[in-house]
Amino acid sequence: MKLPLKIITVIATAFVVGSLITPPLFADDDRRGPAFFGHHGAGFDGHHGPGHAGMHIQRLLKRLDLTVEQRDQVESIFAQNKPQMREIAETMRGNRDRLATVSPDDAEYSNVVAEVSQSNGALAEQVTLLAASVQSQVWAVLTDEQKAKAEELRQEMRERWQRKIDAMQERLDATR
């Protein structure tokens, strides 16, 4: 059975959004240049999560050979959006913790799951919109040549992800 296109799209979108936003906004690196340059960020809970996936955007920006001025501009963009991303991350962490503390046997389990689901949906919308805004602002800093190179690199990343999704689908099909 094939995964529905909608599920594949959601998975890919979540990865891309995480790749664009998480490490730059959660990095607390005091070195010169954007906080994400050379920083190996972790996910919301300090483990390899969305932040780990964000290393892809780190590599992409490094491969674009940004000038010092461009790096400063990008750093400023991420710094401006960092508080909002931290707030979203804290809410997501609270939602995760809330789910972890309620048992499926609990009479309120269904209500808690519904509330957390609704909250996470709204948070996903906020993250997606914020990611698009940040990406647009960073894109405006790039030269035409850097934009062309970024598109090539993004296409390569999309192709790699498609191969991974296809491999997951094959493994899923093999278990049925």
Q: How confident is the model at residue 176 (pLDDT cuts 50, 70, 90)?
A: confident
In the predicted structure, residue 120 carries a pLDDT above the cut 60 = yes
pTM, full prediction: 0.61
In the predicted structure, residue 155 carries a pLDDT above the cut 50 = yes
Task: State the Cα–Cα distance between residues 45 and 96, nearest whole angstrom.
Answer: 10
How do residues 76-95 score in pLDDT, each as one tens digit?
998 999 999 999 999 999 99
- Mean pLDDT check: name the lowest of 28-42, 53-67, 84-98: 28-42
Mean predicted lDDT score pLDDT of the chain: 76
Secondary structure of residue 50 in the 3-state scheme: helix
pLDDT of the residue at 63: 87
The three-point CA angle 53-65-16 to 5° equals: 25
Q: How confident is the model at residue 140 (pLDDT cuts 50, 70, 90)?
A: very high
